[in-house]
Amino acid sequence: MDIGLQLTTEKTGLKIDPRTKIMILIAVGIIMMSGKLTGVEYILRIICTFIPFVLLLSVRQFKSAFGYLFILLCVELCEGFIVPKTQGVLNLVIMIICGIISRFGPSYLCGWYVVKSTSVSEFVTAMDKMHFPKVITIPMSVMFRYFPTLKEEYSSIHDAMKMRGIGKTVKNPFVYIEYILVPIMMSTVQIANDLSAASLTKGLGAHKKRTHICDVRMKVFDVMLIVALIAMLVIFFIF
């Protein structure tokens, strides 16, 4: 199962407003990070487990969707039924592994979905409509392109290693640092500077109101989804 998940920003599958996507990310993150393993909060955690599954299906990532759903449901059931019946070191190990996967897995998937299914133009347009300040919009718009660009740089380094006969994998940690981590660290600074310059060149730092080509608007489905997410958060904090 490929954790990288290949997807372009083509408008395929379910069309969701960028503001709704951000709301999904916030709601899932809060509930999954803080939710208990009993009562209403446990039910909300199960619901939040299905949300990334539906999002992956909407962009036709069927294999990854069912794989992650199986893993996360097993972890949730393990936390709810196996953890309370174990003791000692075994209990600690199971709690750590299940806790990391269950609390960070859905949030990671939602974050990946937001970045991959939303273009920079759509994101900036949505932020402008919410009247977010430029000090927040510009860094976040740079972030939207930073991680995909960094992944491309990582792939380029691996290709360069293959051309030099170093091999597909590096087992020695010191060699790994020399051949992979050092070039990536040097590239990150230049990538950030290039993306920042590109964003400013496109007028993101201008003080005048910008015009937008892309059509970003809230639909009935977006409103219904936001209302459902708010209701989940209200139930989460009350109960």
Q: What is the pLDDT of residue 4?
A: 42
Whole-prediction pTM: 0.70
Task: Give the count of alpha carbons within 13 A of 15, CB side only.
Answer: 9
Q: What is the pLDDT of residue 204?
A: 63
What residues of the chain score a pLDDT lower than 50?
1-12
- The residue written with tokens 């990070």 in the block is 33
Rounded to an integer, what distance in angstroms lies between the CA atom of residue 146 and that of residue 195? Answer: 7
Q: What is the pLDDT of residue 228?
A: 92
> Residue 64: which of 110, 111, 21, 2 has the closest Cα?
2
Q: What is the pLDDT of residue 170?
A: 58
Query: In this predicted model, what pLDDT tens digit does every residue of 133-187 receive, in sequence order?
Result: 777 777 777 777 777 777 777 788 777 777 777 655 556 667 777 777 777 877 7
Rounded to an integer, what distance in angstroms lies between the CA atom of residue 86 and that of residue 119? Answer: 46
- Taking phi first (over 0 means left), then psi (-120 to 50 degrees means alpha), and beta for anything else, what does residue 98 get? alpha
Q: What is the pLDDT of residue 9?
A: 41
Q: What is the pLDDT of residue 3?
A: 42
**Looking at the chain, how many residues does it have?**
239
Q: What are the structural domain ranges in the chain?
A: 18-119+218-238, 132-201
Give the CA dihedral 110, 112, 116, 120, nearest 10 degrees.
90
